[in-house]
Structure 1
Amino acid sequence: MTLNAENREGTKKGVCRKLRVDGKIPAVLYGRKVESRDLVVSVKDLEEAIRKSETRELFFDLKLSDGNCPAMMKDFQKDPMTGAFVHADFYALELDRKIEARVYLNVKGLAKGVDLGGTLRVFERMAKVRCLPGNVPVSLEVDVTELGLGKTYFLKDVPTPEGVEILVEGNMPVATVIAPKGAAAATDEEGKPAAAAAAKKKK
C-alpha cells in the first residue's frame, strides 16, 4: 500500500497541533540502514490504507521526497477521548532480512469432539512468526476437524508456508475440546469417550 509522506519541519506542540487541524499527523521513520527522519502523513490516507490491509501487521510503500521506502508500522498513538490517530512510527524494511510479525490464526472446521457434545474453546487468535517481509502470510489455517473430546491443538503444530517460522515456546494451546460435564475425561484414539468405546467392543 502506497502512502505519501512529507518531510516535517519542527517538532513543537504548536506545529503538531496545526498538522492535526489540517487532517495530518506527525510521524517518524527509522531503521538499521536509514537515517531517522520526521514525517507528516495524511490521516485519511492512513486510515484508508489500514482498511484495505488484509494482514495484521501494516506494511507500506512510503512515498518520500527522495524515493520510496518499504516500511512497517511499528507503533502508533491515538487520542484516548476521540480515538483519532495522533502519531505513527514506521520501521524501514530490508526486503532480504527477516522480521517478526503477528498473523491471524484462522480456526476452521467442526471438531469431532463437538459432535460428541463437547465445547470448542479457542485460546489464541494470533501467532508471532519470523520470515522475510514479502512472505508474511495473511493468516495461518488451524483445522480442528479431527479434534476429539479432551484433545488440544498446539501452536507448534500449525502448518506454515515455506520460509515462515512460528515463534513459540513449549506447548502453547490454540484450541481444545472440553468434554461435557459428567462425561469421562479419557478418550479413545478417535476422540470418543473411552467408556463408550469399551462398551461397544463388549457388544
Structure 2
Amino acid sequence: MATTLKAVKREDHKGSATRKLRLNGQVPGIVYGKEKGNTSISLDSLELIKAVRDDGRNAIFKLAVDSGQPLEVMLHDYQMEPIKDELVHVDFYIVDMKEEMDVEVALVLTGEAPGAKTGGVLQQPLYELQVRAKPKNIPEEITVDVSQLEVGDSISVADLPISDKYEITDDPDTTIATVLAPDTIEDVEEAPSENDEPELVDPDAEGKK
C-alpha cells in the first residue's frame, strides 16, 4: 500500500515566504504531470525523507494536496543545500499506472568474486541501470551476483536475465562488473623509465602495416 504524504498548496512564492517554510520544517515543491498542469506545494520535510528512506527512491506515493483527491506520484527530482545538507525543493510527477516510464534503478553487486580473493580487483563501472516499466513494476534495485567471476571475467548488461515486468534500456555491451588482474612485478620492471629515450618509429614501416 502506497504511503500517503500530506501537502498544501503554496500561493506565496516570495523568497521570504519560502525561507519561512523551511524554518518551520516544510519543503517547497511542485507537482506536475502530462496534461495536469503545475501546482506549487509544500510538505513536511522529515515526513518526506522518512517515506523515501522506507519505500525507496522510485516508490509510488499518494500525495494529498489540501482536501483534494490523493494523486499517485513519484519523486522526480530534489535539490539539497550542500553546506547544511538540507532538502530545499522537491518535484513530484503524477504517474499513469497504465503507462510505461523511464527511470534509474540502483545496481547492487552481491556475492564475493573468487578472482578478488586471489589478488584481482573487482570493479563496478555502473551503479544505476536505465529501466522502462509501468510504475507498479519498477524494481527498488537490481542485484547482480558476482560469485562466479575470476580474474579477467566481466558481466555486461547483455548477461542480465530478461524480466517480464521491466526492460533494461542500457547498451547491452555496457560493463557492469569486472575483475581486473593486479599489476605484477614484471609489469613494473618492464615499464619504460622516464629517463629512457623514446623508441624511434620508421614512418614508412608504419604505413606498410
TM-score by shorter chain over 0.5: yes
CA distance in 2, matches of 1:162, 1:140: 14
**Aligned twin of 1:89:** 91
Moved over 4 A (4+): none
Q: Residue type of the partner of 2:60?
A: F
The reply to whether residue 16 of structure 1 matches residue 14 of structure 2 is no
**Aligned twin of 2:188:** none
CA distance in 1, matches of 2:24, 2:47: 13
**Aligned twin of 1:6:** 8
The reply to whether residue 26 of structure 1 matches residue 36 of structure 2 is no
Residue 150 of structure 1: SS of its match in structure 2? coil
Aligned residues: 182
Post-superposition Cα deviations, 1:143-186, rounded to whole Å, max 9, x if no partner, equal: 12222221110023222532211111251111111123349xxx
CA distance in 2, matches of 1:56, 1:152: 28
The answer on whether the counterparts of 2:156 and 2:172 sit within 8 Å (CA) in structure 1 is: no
Alpha-carbon offset, residue 50 of structure 1 = 2.1
Residue 36 of structure 1: SS of its match in structure 2? strand
**Aligned twin of 2:60:** 59
**Aligned twin of 2:176:** 174
CA distance in 1, matches of 2:78, 2:57: 14
Residue 15 of structure 1: SS of its match in structure 2? helix
Q: CA RMSD in A?
A: 1.9
Residue 67 of structure 1: SS of its match in structure 2? coil
Which of 149, 156, 159 is residue 147 of structure 1 equivalent to? 149
Shift in alpha-carbon separation, 1:174–1:36, aligned structure 2, 3 A:
same
Whose Rg is larger? 2
- Mean CA deviation greater in 123-132 or 44-53: 44-53
Residue 70 of structure 2: SS of its match in structure 1? strand
CA distance in 1, matches of 2:121, 2:19: 51
Post-superposition Cα deviations, 1:71-116, rounded to whole Å, max 9, x if no partner, equal: 1111112223211112111110000011111112221123243344
> What is the aligned-residue identity percentage?
31
**Aligned twin of 1:37:** 39
Q: TM-score, normalised by structure 2?
A: 0.79
**Aligned twin of 1:107:** 109
Alpha-carbon offset, residue 132 of structure 1 = 0.5
CA distance in 2, matches of 1:131, 1:170: 18
Residue 36 of structure 2: SS of its match in structure 1? coil
Shift in alpha-carbon separation, 1:93–1:157, aligned structure 2, 3 A:
same
- Unmatched 5+ residue regions in structure 1? 184-203
Alpha-carbon offset, residue 51 of structure 1 = 2.2
